[in-house]
Chains A and B, each alone.
Chain A
Amino acid sequence: MPLTDRGRTILERLPGAALASAGSTGCEIVRHEELCVGCGRCAASCPTGASSRGETFDVNQLLAAPAGSRRGELGAALRRLARHAASAPVAVPPRVSVYRTIVYDVGRCLGCGTCARACPAGAIEALPPQTTGADAREQTPTEAAR
């Protein structure tokens, strides 16, 4: 459920509270890890800290980089050398900054789509909010009461 930390603490204090339309407020964020260049702009622009730069790098992300992408050349070189797919992410030395897999925490994401706008590689997609029929029915009486 996309809620701010503040919103979540308020909900926890109120007994039996629930936010009717919370499920449908934000965009659905889809990350394409194979296109990610690890620049960290999504982490810098994220208002809730849902995206952040991690300490490890998933090598399969590089192995899956398509030919036309920014990491395509490096991915192709590694694919030529690779004998098998990587089993575990590798730890990244402190001075290597861009080869870090972004840690994305869905629980803290608001679905605002700022990261999708900030991403220079087009690796993040913000899909329009999916409003289900149930949500719409819940919203109607509230709106009628106003």
Chain B
Amino acid sequence: MSPTVVATAEAETTRARAAERSIVAFCCRECAYAAADASANARTPLPPSVRLVLVPCSGRIGPLHLLSALAEGADGVMVAGCLEGQCHYLEGNFNAIDRVTFVQRLLESVGVEPERARMFTMSAGEPPKFVAAVHEMDRVVGALPPLQRSEACR
């Protein structure tokens, strides 16, 4: 097999894995979802793995949202909220930051990579920052081995 064919095959596998991957992005309505909307209007391509979930505030997100998303098939979860101090509901994003940190510690203590849950903050006027965050998450999660789930406790 020639090196070109191997390289093409590898590229195919990478692309297939990227399409199979799923990253759930919980986006705050006031900031991150507006940024996502603006980036979509500008026709900026997002990784095929990302699934956007609209939430009224990142402070709505609790450990159950993040862990059940991971348990039911997501490879990574990200929470995108407002910049620190700019939450529409005053301190929802501070709560979200601490909850995501807590979920990371939970995952780490049971042997799962903590990078699978991450918090990003951005303002509504920063679509490039949102796109960069999604690409960053996709790259980090893509580099990790597939997430093992036990079927017994379904």
Q: A residues bordering B, Cβ < 8 Å? A: 57, 59, 62-63, 73-74, 76-88, 90-96, 99
Contacts and interface: CB of A to CB of B under 8 A. Distances in A.
Contact of B110 (A76, A83, A99): A83
Interface residues of B, number: 29
A101 to B, nearest CB: 13
A62 B107 CA distance: 12
B112 A95 contact: no
B112 A91 contact: no
B105 A90 contact: yes
A73 B64 contact: yes
B150 A79 contact: yes
A99 B154 contact: no
B68 interface: yes
B112 A81 contact: yes
A86 B106 CA distance: 9
B102 A81 contact: no
B110 A84 contact: yes
Contact of A95 (B95, B108, B150, B153): B95
Contacts of A83: 110-112, 148
Interface string B96-116: 011101100111111110000
B11 to A, nearest CB: 30
A87 B148 CA distance: 20
A56 B147 CA distance: 27
A87 B149 CA distance: 20
15 contacts: A77-B64, A77-B70, A77-B71, A78-B110, A79-B150, A79-B153, A80-B149, A80-B151, A81-B147, A82-B110, A83-B148, A87-B109, A91-B105, A93-B98, A94-B98
Given A77-B68, A77-B72, 5 more contacts: A81-B147, A83-B111, A84-B110, A90-B102, A96-B102
Contacts of B102: 57, 90, 92-93, 96, 99
